[in-house]
Amino acid sequence: MNLYEALAAEIEKLVTRGVLREDDKIPSVRQASVHHKVSISTVLRAYALLESRGVIESRPQSGYFVRVRAANSIAPSRPLASDMTLSADVDVSRLVLKTLRSIGNDGAIPLGSPYPDPACFPHERLSRYANAIARRQGQWGVINDLPPGHPELIRQIVRRHLKTGLVVDPGEVVVTVGATEAINLCLQAVAQPGDVIAVESPTYYAMLHAIERLGMRAIEVPTRPDEGIDLAALERAIDEYAIAACMVMPNFQNPLGFRMSDERKRALVELTARRRMPVIENDVYSELYYDGGHPASLKSFDRAGLVLHCASFSKSLTSAYRIGWALPGRYTAQVEKLKFLGTLATSSLPQLAIAEYLKNNSYDAHLRSMRKRFAQQARIMAAAVLRFFPPGTRVSTPRGGYVLWVELPGSVDAMALYARALGEGITIGPGNMFSARGNFNHFIRLNYSYPWTPQLEAAVMRLGALVAEIALETS
């Protein structure tokens, strides 16, 4: 064996044994040359051999890294659900509430959390702005908080959209208590109790909550892990059922993490416009992209006013203030009225604190830090799951956001895993939460926004052992 082959074999053994994990940076060419007492050309040949084998990869201006395996990713060409059956009732709120409560248990590892790590947010700076505004303006009455929202925050929201490529009429913005209220208001504006609403499969459970709360029914449309809702299947569903509206997350969908292409976004908007069917777009993760620049929204392709765009700062800036907004198109007046009849107002203080933060140009630097952190941790979490979970496990390839969708071996029930993991202080998101029909019972969602620590790695390792135990018992 030549020197470079021996060096390559030594490094590959470290990767196989888990000493070097996927996405770990390996020593530079110069460092490896000094450490192994070989020439730089020998190291370069060894690294080239490892690259050709798919063990490592070079990244411009960064060095060499252990390559993240893609062989066990969820097949991008296969929809995760192939049939479409109308749900008689939507009832997922009890399961979701139980799961969310478990996350608050003392010392629990929050792999099941739907929220990003609070440490990511600039709480101290926002608090300083809020305190200064409160001292400056004193107490104000509800009259200042009425819909559509505080003019200064609306101005900043419009400016932010303009910066990311969407021209917005300030008169269309309705400030809400987070994106959840925006979704509920928009759905209530376009549909009635008993109506049928098309959703992705799997879909984010906040969408199902809105349908459940308003007494509507869901039709789950097959959705591909790489490109989103199946447009042909959606058109068939429109032909078969009297669908009142469609609810989708085109950018970094929770739980799949895909980014729908601009071509497919345009095709979706054109399809629904032809059918005169409103589309509620949940776009809360669009600021958390990893590559390719800020994604376009469905709203940017809308010419008929049928896209009701919903977003918030809860996933990208602060979850404490619960500030979101809607761009409801032709339904703006109705959404504003429903906002007034429902929660009456959104507090001005958090609106103004966020507006001040945006005005002082801190947001982009903060987002760059979050994106870099989440992109790295996504690769680490995926690699750890594939390393510690039994054969047959597959993972999604998120392009933004902070959640990983994991397909377990077919015999493993996600609720059984949820119960056992919770007993050991580990929370997960069972796949059942993402379907009105109880689909995805051998899938789980994991949150990777928290720093990778020995404790977190031990939790993922233990989770993998529990999966193996259940698989053995049920085989």
Q: Averaged over 90-96, what is the pLDDT?
A: 67
Q: Which amino acid is at 182?
A: A
39 neighbors 77 (Cβ within 8 angstroms): no
- The pLDDT, as a whole number, for residue 245 is 97
Q: Averaged over 20-45, what is the pLDDT?
A: 89
Q: Averaged over 318-335, what is the pLDDT?
A: 96
Could you report the per-residue pLDDT of 104-145, keeping only the tens digit for each? 666 789 999 989 999 999 999 999 999 988 887 665 544 567
Q: Averaged over 375-385, what is the pLDDT?
A: 89
Using CA atoms, how far apart are residues 474 and 35, in angstroms rounded to an integer? 49
Q: In the predicted model, is pLDDT for residue 334 greater than 70?
A: yes
**C-alpha 309: how far from chain center:** 16
Using CA atoms, how far apart are residues 73 and 242, in angstroms rounded to an integer? 36
Q: How confident is the model at residue 55 (pLDDT cuts 50, 70, 90)?
A: confident
Strands 243-248, 228-229: pairing kind: unpaired
Bridge partners of residue 73, in order along the sequence: 395
Using CA atoms, how far apart are residues 316 and 166, in angstroms rounded to an integer? 18
Q: In the predicted model, is pLDDT for residue 281 greater than 70?
A: yes
363 neighbors 357 (Cβ within 8 angstroms): yes
Q: How confident is the model at residue 72 (pLDDT cuts 50, 70, 90)?
A: low
**C-alpha 239: how far from chain center:** 30
CA 295 → CA 120, 249, 419, 440, 458, distances in Å? Answer: 22, 12, 37, 28, 35
Q: Averaged over 167-186, what is the pLDDT?
A: 96
Q: Which amino acid is at 70?
A: A
- The pLDDT, as a whole number, for residue 279 is 98
Planar angle of CA 203, 147, 344, nearest 5 degrees: 80
Using CA atoms, how far apart are residues 415 and 99, in angstroms rounded to an integer? 10
- The pLDDT, as a whole number, for residue 92 is 66
- The pLDDT, as a whole number, for residue 162 is 94
Q: In the predicted model, is pLDDT for residue 172 greater than 50?
A: yes
Closest CA to 398 of 460, 447, 441, 443: 447
Window from 15-19, 96-100, 365-369 with minimum mean pLDDT: 96-100
pLDDT over 70, % of the chain = 90
All domains of the chain, ordered by start, with CATH?
3-66 (1.10.10.10), 123-363 (3.40.640.10)
92 neighbors 205 (Cβ within 8 angstroms): yes
Average pLDDT, the chain: 89
- Catalogue the E-assigned strands of 147-269: 174-177, 196-201, 217-224, 228-229, 243-248
Residue holding tokens 């597959």?
394
Residue holding tokens 């989103």?
228
pTM beyond cutoff 0.95: no
Q: In the predicted model, is pLDDT for residue 409 greater than 70?
A: yes
Q: Give 13 or 189, the one with higher predicted confidence.
A: 189
Q: Averaged over 238-254, what is the pLDDT?
A: 95
Using CA atoms, how far apart are residues 200 and 218, in angstroms rounded to an integer? 10
Q: In the predicted model, is pLDDT for residue 73 greater than 90?
A: no
Residue 43 DSSP SS3? helix
Using CA atoms, how far apart are residues 144 and 472, in angstroms rounded to an integer? 61
Q: Averaged over 449-471, what is the pLDDT?
A: 94
Q: How confident is the model at residue 431 (pLDDT cuts 50, 70, 90)?
A: very high
Using CA atoms, how far apart are residues 153 and 352, in angstroms rounded to an integer? 6
Q: In the predicted model, is pLDDT for residue 71 greater than 70?
A: no
Q: In the predicted model, is pLDDT for residue 75 greater than 80?
A: no
Q: How confident is the model at residue 436 (pLDDT cuts 50, 70, 90)?
A: confident
Of all residues in the chain, what percent are helix, strand and coil, respectively (each to 5)? 45, 15, 40
The DSSP secondary-structure symbol of 430 reads E
Q: Which amino acid is at 110?
A: P
Helix residue spans in 104-225 (DSSP H):
123-137, 151-163, 178-190, 205-213
Q: Averaged over 31-49, what is the pLDDT?
A: 89
Kindly report whether the peptide bond that precedes residue 255 is cis, defined as omega within 30 degrees of 0: yes
pLDDT over 90, % of the chain = 66
- The pLDDT, as a whole number, for residue 142 is 46
Phi-psi region of 133 (alpha: psi -120 to 50; beta: other; left: phi over 0): alpha
Q: How confident is the model at residue 61 (pLDDT cuts 50, 70, 90)?
A: confident
| Helices 454-474/414-423 angle, 10° precision | 130
Q: Averaged over 320-335, what is the pLDDT?
A: 96
Residue holding tokens 């996927």?
22
Q: Averaged over 181-204, what is the pLDDT?
A: 96
